[in-house]
Amino acid sequence: MELSSEQYENPDRVILEFTSGLSADYYDDVFCGGYSFICVNSEGIWIKGWLDPAPHTMANGYSYDYYRLTTKEGLVAKSISCGAYHVAILDQHNEVWTFGFGLTGQLGYHWSSGDGFEKPLKVFVPRPCIKVECGAYTTLFLLDNGEVYGCGRNSEYDNLCVGTTENVFKPAKVRFEDPIADIAASYLEDWGKWPTRFGAVSRDHRKYFVWGENHPGETPTWKTDIDNLFDIFVHFMTPHSLSDLDHEEPNESVTIQSSANLEILPATILDKWSLFKGMPGYLRTRVQSFTVFGTGYNSHLLGGFVITSDDDIFGVGINDSKSLGVPGNNPNFAIYPNEIRSLAWKKITRIVLNLVKGVALTRSGLVYAWEGSQGPAILDSMQDTQVIDLSAGAKFFLFLDADGKVYFDGLMSSDYPEEEAKEISLPENEKAVQIASGEWHGAVLTSAGDVYTFGHGIYSQLGYPWESSDSPYEARKVALPGPCKKIACGVCSTLFVMENGDLYACGLNKYADVLGVGHGDTVLEPQKVKIAEPVVDVAVGIRNASFGARVSSFAVKTASGNFYKWGSEVYEPKLLQGISSLVEAFADQEMPHSLSMVPIAPPIQPKPDSGEEENDYLNEISEEDLNRLKAGGIPYSDLGDPLFSDVTLKLSDGTQAAHKCFLVPKSKFFREAIHKAEADGSSDVDLTQYNPNAIRALL
């Protein structure tokens, strides 16, 4: 934006010339200080409010009522940032000008009240500045070489990490070891303390740092549990520079699009898994995506994850190897959904589990992993790699990065040592675009339509002759009749969807992997599966059979929109009736890893009169109870009367008879407690772990 101008003898000094009144009737942008607004339009920069703290302590403070800043000719303001009582402008020459209150050094030079609040000066930093951010009484400068400088108050409320505990009047270097790509700052008004929090991200976008308020260290802290700048300011004021943060979708040129990614299913899809039937209504209406898994230790029980529209994650069901990722010693089966706080707000796109470990992939390419009683944490071995897809074998994971490289992490089988982030060997010019995993082998599809397999090949799952002396990490090309467009792996098998719609398969072809090729012999080299229609998609789910073995279930979608399924006791592809998505082919059983985190549309329902969550529960109350509620609820005197009670609250000092009609709409606390009791099949709500007086106060 080009500002109105005048010529001055001193080119480094800009004078504010105030003209009362605002001729324009709109703004292009607005910035907020502690007690001021900085408004921008085609005519200039306008100031409304106070830049002087005096109005709040003295009667002689001056308030500006839309006054315009004029500056030397040709100056263009690229960005503006506001502190509590000061302003910083970054111009088109990557120079910074500051004005306002500056007793603690926030202007970047020595200032006194006699200098006035309307005399911006240029701040001297050693290199061109590409971003400026103001704290309450501080200013940060991001330079073009990735260095960060800071000035201003340097106290327990805004530690600048510049090597001194004194206020900083001349910008000093913040102690980073990594070059920085972006910075942000925010502050609160807290009884005059004005604490400020600073955030930064490294140029490789793999490290996020925080410092400022309540930060005793000499250097900014590297936060290993977040993967975006926005999360640094959780439970704090959002920085102005992030207020219009747009979460970009993954780059489609490098992101794998699974069947689930291509189609949003109706919310009723959850009904096809009995696992979710006991889910509380207030949570169910907020589910945005889900997946279902099994483990190798129980043949009948399932587990699942759901992600809500608020980006919270809950796990429910089987937890026999702590597969849900809930920290601590938890039951082997979670009847009631457990929140997984360490995965919340991470923009998780995929969750898969093997027999011993779980992993989750974020939109930005970070991998979180959990095992045993430890909750999810960033997987160290993949921390410096931007992962775009993953899959799981029995005791290993495969990771595909944005450069088309494939990494193996875990144990291929008992015949080989455990490996950590080991790159799979592919020909030099081949770039991987899809990965798939069997129990003890892996497959890679390249951009050229070629398929490479690796791992253990004793059951012919690799598609070529294999010897025990072969390296399990050197991928070899599979001979196919043409280009391939998608791959999938079963327990001991590999499937290939060709560009012409033919489906080929290789592997054991009995017990765990019935391939549907028209005979029961092992298939060493890929053979065509007996499906008359062209295939457009394939998925393979691995589940526990009734006899204890791990078996594969194969399903495909054809060009005509039909769905076929086979595997285990079903020897030939069987046409499925009454389904409209590949996901439904795996109803009430483990879902394929390639379909993990199926997106679903929100349920269609009338919008409640208020935003309170209790309205979600009115549909779950009987008509008789609802009439009582609309008539004024239940008198408090009825709470202890069994004639007016249908639930008993168990407290540490006794019991309290109550009524669901009263408790359910009263608070989320009671709703969750009642639903947990119902899921456990009990009419008693156990609240013995809470202060009984506090519970009675809630009633």
For range 518-545, the mean pLDDT: 93
Residue pair 224/209 in contact by the 8 Å Cβ criterion: no
Among residues 497, 427, 437, which one has the least CA distance to residue 461? 437
Measure the CA–CA gap between 221 and 217, rounded to whole angstroms: 8
User: Tokens representing 683?
Assistant: 């009419």
Measure the CA–CA gap between 286 and 397, rounded to whole angstroms: 30
Does position 210 have pLDDT exceeding 80, yes or no?
yes
Does position 3 have pLDDT exceeding 70, yes or no?
no
Does position 610 have pLDDT exceeding 60, yes or no?
no
Measure the CA–CA gap between 515 and 535, rounded to whole angstroms: 15
Measure the CA–CA gap between 133 and 131, rounded to whole angstroms: 7
Most confident of the following: 258-267, 304-313, 453-462: 453-462
State the Rg of the chain over Cα.
31
Query: 613-698 maps to which CATH number?
Result: 3.30.710
- Tell me, what's the pLDDT at 664? 65
Cα 51 to Cα 43, 104, 413, distances in angstroms = 21, 14, 68
Burial class (CB in 10 A: 0-12, 13-18, 19+), 181: middle
Among residues 316, 314, 313, 289, which one has the least CA distance to residue 302? 316
- Tell me, what's the pLDDT at 102? 93
For range 46-63, the mean pLDDT: 64
- Tell me, what's the pLDDT at 409? 97
For range 145-168, the mean pLDDT: 95
- Tell me, what's the pLDDT at 477? 97
Among residues 514, 489, 486, which one has the least CA distance to residue 502? 486
> Which range is least confidently modeled, 150-159, 383-392, 596-605, 615-624?
615-624
Q: Does domain 259-599 have CATH number 3.50.50.60?
A: no
Kindly tell me the sign of the dihedral angle through the C-alpha atoms of 379, 384, 387, 392: negative
Q: Which residues are CB-neighbours of 566 under 8 A, at least 6 positions away?
A: 514, 516, 553, 554, 572, 573, 574
Does position 638 have pLDDT exceeding 70, yes or no?
no
Q: Which of the four pLDDT bands, split at 50, 70 and 90, describes residue 400? A: very high
Interior angle at CA 394, CA 388 and CA 399, nearest 5: 15
Measure the CA–CA gap between 409 and 491, rounded to whole angstroms: 18
Buried b (16+ CB within 10 A) or exposed e, 104-121: bbbbbbebeeeeebbebb
Q: What percent of the chain has pLDDT over 70?
A: 81
Kindly tell me the sign of the dihedral angle through the C-alpha atoms of 600, 606, 607, 611: negative
Greater pLDDT, 621 or 515? 515
Q: Which of the four pLDDT bands, split at 50, 70 and 90, describes residue 606? A: very low
For range 622-640, the mean pLDDT: 44
- Tell me, what's the pLDDT at 25? 46
Does position 617 have pLDDT exceeding 50, yes or no?
no
Task: State which H helix or E strand residue 651 sits in.
Answer: strand 647-651
Q: Which of the four pLDDT bands, split at 50, 70 and 90, describes residue 545? A: low
> Which range is least confidently modeled, 36-40, 599-603, 639-643?
639-643
For range 589-603, the mean pLDDT: 88
Measure the CA–CA gap between 282 and 294, rounded to whole angstroms: 26
For range 146-167, the mean pLDDT: 95
What is the residue extent of each domain of the chain? 29-242, 259-599, 613-698
Residue pair 121/107 in contact by the 8 Å Cβ criterion: yes
Cα 152 to Cα 72, 139, 396, distances in angstroms = 26, 6, 51
- Please give the mean pLDDT across all residues of the chain: 82
Q: Same CATH topology for 259-599 and 613-698? A: no
Does position 639 have pLDDT exceeding 50, yes or no?
no
Residue pair 110/130 in contact by the 8 Å Cβ criterion: no
Q: Which of the four pLDDT bands, split at 50, 70 and 90, describes residue 171? A: very high
User: Tokens representing 276?
Assistant: 């979710």
Buried b (16+ CB within 10 A) or exposed e, 197-207: bbbbbbeebbb
**DSSP conformation letters of 527-576:** EE-S-SSPEEEEEEEEEE-TTS-EEEEEEEEETTS-EEEEETTEEEEEE-
- Tell me, what's the pLDDT at 626? 45
Does position 559 have pLDDT exceeding 90, yes or no?
yes
User: Tokens representing 569?
Assistant: 């006791």
Q: Pairing between strand 387-392 and 287-293? A: unpaired
Does position 78 have pLDDT exceeding 90, yes or no?
no
Task: State which H helix or E strand residue 679 sits in.
Answer: helix 668-679
Does position 473 have pLDDT exceeding 60, yes or no?
yes
- Tell me, what's the pLDDT at 14? 38
For 400, other C-beta atoms within 10 Å of its C-beta total 25
Greater pLDDT, 105 or 567? 105
Greater pLDDT, 456 or 2? 456
Q: What percent of the chain has pLDDT over 90?
A: 49
> Which range is least confidently modeled, 54-58, 309-313, 658-662?
54-58
- Tell me, what's the pLDDT at 247? 41
Q: How far apart are the first and last CA of the chain?
A: 58
Residue pair 157/177 in contact by the 8 Å Cβ criterion: no
- Tell me, what's the pLDDT at 345? 83
Q: Pairing between strand 451-455 and 476-477? A: antiparallel
Neighbouring C-alpha atoms within 13 Å toward the C-beta of 139: 37
Q: Which of the four pLDDT bands, split at 50, 70 and 90, describes residue 28? A: low
C-alpha dihedral, 575 to 577 to 583 to 584, nearest 10°:
-140
Q: Which of the four pLDDT bands, split at 50, 70 and 90, describes residue 643? A: very low
Residue pair 438/492 in contact by the 8 Å Cβ criterion: yes
Measure the CA–CA gap between 630 and 108, rounded to whole angstroms: 63
The whole model's pTM is what? 0.58
- Tell me, what's the pLDDT at 296? 66
For residue 503, what are the β-bridge partners? 497
Residue pair 484/518 in contact by the 8 Å Cβ criterion: no
Q: Which of the four pLDDT bands, split at 50, 70 and 90, describes residue 185? A: very high
- Tell me, what's the pLDDT at 26? 54
> Which range is least confidently modeled, 63-67, 310-314, 502-506?
63-67
For residue 131, what are the β-bridge partners? 142
* Residue at token pair 């949570």: 283
Could you give phi then psi for residue 440, rounded to 5 degrees?
A: -135, 20
Measure the CA–CA gap between 645 and 657, rounded to whole angstroms: 6
C-alpha dihedral, 58 to 60 to 61 to 63, nearest 10°:
140
Interior angle at CA 698, CA 694 and CA 699, nearest 5: 120
Measure the CA–CA gap between 314 and 326, rounded to whole angstroms: 9
- Give tens-digit pLDDT for 644-697: 467 788 888 888 887 766 676 556 677 777 777 766 667 788 888 777 776 776
Q: Which residues are CB-neighbours of 642 under 8 A, at least 6 positions away?
A: 657
Total length of the chain: 699
Measure the CA–CA gap between 405 and 349, rounded to whole angstroms: 19
Right CATH for 29-242 from 2.130.10.30, 3.90.1170.10, 1.10.1740.10, 3.90.199.10: 2.130.10.30
Does position 642 have pLDDT exceeding 50, yes or no?
no
**DSSP conformation letters of 252-296:** TTTS---HHHH-PBPGGGGGGSGGGTT--HHHHTTEEEEEEE--T
Residue pair 490/502 in contact by the 8 Å Cβ criterion: no
Residue pair 199/208 in contact by the 8 Å Cβ criterion: yes
Q: Give me the amino acid identity at 248.
A: E
Measure the CA–CA gap between 76 and 246, rounded to whole angstroms: 25
Q: Give me the amino acid identity at 358.
A: G
Residue pair 167/104 in contact by the 8 Å Cβ criterion: yes
- Tell me, what's the pLDDT at 62? 58
Measure the CA–CA gap between 220 and 642, rounded to whole angstroms: 60
Could you give phi then psi for residue 654, rounded to 5 degrees?
A: 150, -155
